[in-house]
Structure 1
Amino acid sequence: MQTEVLGERYQLLDPIGRGGMATIYRGRDLRMDRPVAIKVLREVYSTDPKFVTRFQREAKAASALQHPNIVQVYDYGQSEGNYYIVMELVEGTDLRRYLRSRGVLDVERAVIIAHDVALGLGAAHRRGIVHRDVKPQNILVGRDGSIKLTDFGIASVYKDINAERLTTTGMTLGTVQYYAPEQAQGEIVSPAADVYALGIVMYEMLTGRTPFEGDTPVAVAMQHIQDPPVPPSHYNPAIPPALEEIILRCLEKIPEMRYRDGSALARALEALGETELAEPAADVAAAPTVVTSPYRPSPSGVGHGLVNEIPGAAAAAGYDQRPLAAGALAASPYVSPEAVPAPGPGPYGGFVQSGTTRPFQRDAIAGERGSRLAGIITALILIATVLLLGFSIYLASILGFLPFLHLSTQATPVPPEVPVPSLIGLTYQQALTRATNAGFVLQVHNGLTSGYVVRQSPQPPALAPRGSTILVDLQERPTKVIVPDGLVGNTLAGAERILRSQGIPFTVQSDGVDPTKPANYVDRTSPKSGEELPNGQSVILYVVNLSTGSPTTVPSPTATEKPSPTPTPSPSPTPTPSPSPTPSPTPSPTAHPQPSATPPPLLP
């Protein structure tokens, strides 16, 4: 291109990277007199009005993000038909090249990187921004040890505009390997999708591979949707159980089962103590120690513990001095092979172990071991004292010296299980009243105190102990719930899977016997498929040839809130009339009047 200065302010110097949608230049802000990275869009996108509109909206949102673990977007604009973004210039490399040079990372280093990325995501999620493209190429590792996330929203615009070409250019293997299941299905994504992608990155940092691999993007996407991941400790037995549990929670198929956003994941990683990080997930008795010190996140959010781990961070010798611009994903290499030591052979087939320590750490570790030994001895003495005191009190109670401490042999009563009420679509106050009347405690999962219930766990027709907690998510406006297709003509199990996957509450009622139809056949529903489900109501599945032992044959949640009348008429009739007339009339009159009387008025 001919332009050397954009907007009479940003001077273009040498190109430092090229991607599918833009060229990255090293530049200079003439007004602020500082180095910058300038991303100039290719002309094919600059002439697309739809792309330009979305690009400007996303760039504006990204420029509002200010966090130590996010590459700062300084400015964006248009000059002589060329759209550009001005960003912070990061000296270093991206995580993809870093992993290629280093191989598998040790636990401490991987946790530090993941924690800092999670902090950056949390800052974006608090502003309502979802990255949608978290992967090693978009995580920058600075020479100063900083970890920064880049390409907020910009890459997603590129993908959305090219959605019709996902099988050829938009969805590449390098991208789909980090897709959340809902993202692979083309659904609207939430912060939980970024948590899923970061879980994949953690998996890759600790095992050298992603959990789902295939020959085509579609094959990989189907694995994200259907297949459970192999636990990472299968490939690297040195991964501690507590860390593996965090990774596998990030990789849950259902978004609500993951950490709800980056901040929640960061807190989970911060909670990992020295004991959890040092304990391997499997027996690795002969293996070198993977972690030499506990993880302590930096107060500023920057991974200071990574400074001396990154080649050239302590000394610039041997490190490629060229900067890595934010968004330069597949450009020329920024790290020479000599700059980064190759992963050495280990008991896990090439895994990098940190069994050796840096010279300046040895004295500190020796003193730390002495402190640990003293702490262990003190703890053992305290445990022995507590055990002895407890035994003395127990013995005195048995002998009658302490009559007020006589042990009771009466078993603690187990609270009965009752049907979970449907709360979807109710206001917070209505949901609180209904949950309390049914014997449950209501807890808001996403921290709001007003609005409408859009999700709940557990869902009807599940049974739960009386007094247990129902978790709900609220939002400002009620969600319109449409009864899905595929219920009528399906088996009860198949219909149940469809409704549970969409979080729609349901109840099951017998609809008689029909020898021409199979067992547990869904003959009709109320409301019908395609109709809107009233707020606070459940879909009723009328099942022909219902098996008596079916675990899901639970009446409407509010119908059984009076447990005493229901069992009384059941044993009184004689065995002869009981099988045929009793099943059909009983659910019908009991299930309908109760919901209108017990819960508060439903939303219009």
Structure 2
Amino acid sequence: MSTEPRVLAGRYRVDELIGHGGMAKVYRGQDLTLGRAVAIKILDPELARDTAFRTRFRLEAQSASRMSHPSIVRVYDAGDPSTADSGTDEPPYIVMELISGTLLKDIIARGPVPVDDAVRYVDGILEALDYSHRAGVVHRDIKPGNVMVTDKGQVKVMDFGIARAVSDSSSTVAETTQIIGTAAYFSPEQAKGEPVDARADLYSTGVVLYELLTGRQPFRGESPVAVAYQHVSETPVPPTEVNEDSPGALDPIVLRALAKDPYQRYPDAAHFRSALDSAVSGHAPSRKELGALTSELYGPSPRAAQETARSLRQLSTDTTMARTQSGPPVAWIWAGVALLAVLLASVLFWVWTLSMRPDEVPSTSRQVPDLVNVSSERAQDDLSELDLTAKLILESSSDITEGNVIRTDPEAGTAVREGDSVTVYVSSGKETVVVPMLEGLSLSAAKDALAAAGLELGTVIQRNDNGLAADTVMEASEDAEAEVAPKTVVNLVVASGRVTLTDVTGWTMEAAQAELERIGLTPSPVELTDCPGATPPTVASMSAAPGDVEIGSTVELRYCAAAAG
């Protein structure tokens, strides 16, 4: 017995399942409105029950939908049916471009990848990241399972946005990896639960390059937490030591991309691409040069003890950690000493604070933290740690980056009680307005339409046209339906209501009349009797001088009467 196909939002028909992951299932579908095949990603119902996650998912889907690049799988639409008036309990979904190709993880699983192909795949990933990072979107889950190679060999990066929503909705590494499925591509800052930026994507891309060159990831362990620990604390083996066929010139590129400190990695995807292109034809470094680079990137530094201490606080309670080194590094020992000193100082400070605290301050009092210009996800986490509830409201801003906090209500420093709600105003980016359709309107109507849309009228240029009435808009400097900043100046070209009259004196009457009718004028033949006639009759003079005249004007064409026979 057949069942009716599932249709989302009255538009997207859901067909057969074509893929699934830890957080969503992907179906082949059909856009019934535009008549095109699409891919529809439907969020797992368990994740969809989390209101905060739905909000982040919606914000990130909106960011992804604004990106249009050949190396990025296009997001056409996104929806959250449960918030609609229909009252359905459908989970959120994303409608994407349907790609025919092979996942990079399946290509890797088939066996060794030629170096030229490996470099080409990574270059495609970096090209997509260069575009997305300049658009202010961090992927956060770059891995072979999120990269598609089309049948024509083009690289397509998928899942912009949803990965960020997942990673920020989980409070620990273990919880995050349950959703994403692997910690093998985590950056150290992701593994430690710290805020991340575009350089985390470059680290993950470095892991992908390592795997393409060697056939395995740089760090492996018995559990996701064990792998995450190695990302934080251990030095990767250069690819040539795992696969002797890997070009030695690529070792420095991989090691730089896998630096623990984000500031020691490539500053952006463009620099990573440039270094990769140069290394393909460059010379392999000597063992001494490679050792010096390894010491620079992974040797002891003032930050090492701090980073390892943070790692220990997060990971040491997990009994599933597995190490690949034979003994503890020296930095770990010093980090333990530093950690004990910090704990002792913290206890003393806490005791002193208790003794100095006024009796009248209630134990449930909280102070709203300063969240201006931090990400909305981080703001929610900070408020949650204070047992406060965040209420997100989107608001346009030309000063604050999209997705970051503009202000809070109550404002920072205000005393509130445990469980109180704090309204967090989140930037939706610069405000834009839609350019109305102006062509064909009168100049007066066009002025009103621009004012209503919040746009400014610029220069008005008149142009002759024999088919349009005076002041009819012929062209506008901005396309209709384009999204532009408020108060953008729009220049117009309007019909002058006039045409250019050619001097037809000396023309035959037949040719002269045809020319006037062609340009929208009315010819009026007038026979003269005081001049010698001609055969055929020719124009002796016109009632209007050559030049611009109003459309539809009547012009006398005076000609000499034919001579009497």
Provide the TM-score with structure 2 as the length reference: 0.48
Structure having the higher Rg? 2
Higher relative contact order (CA 8 A, sep 6+): 1
Provide the TM-score with structure 1 as the length reference: 0.45
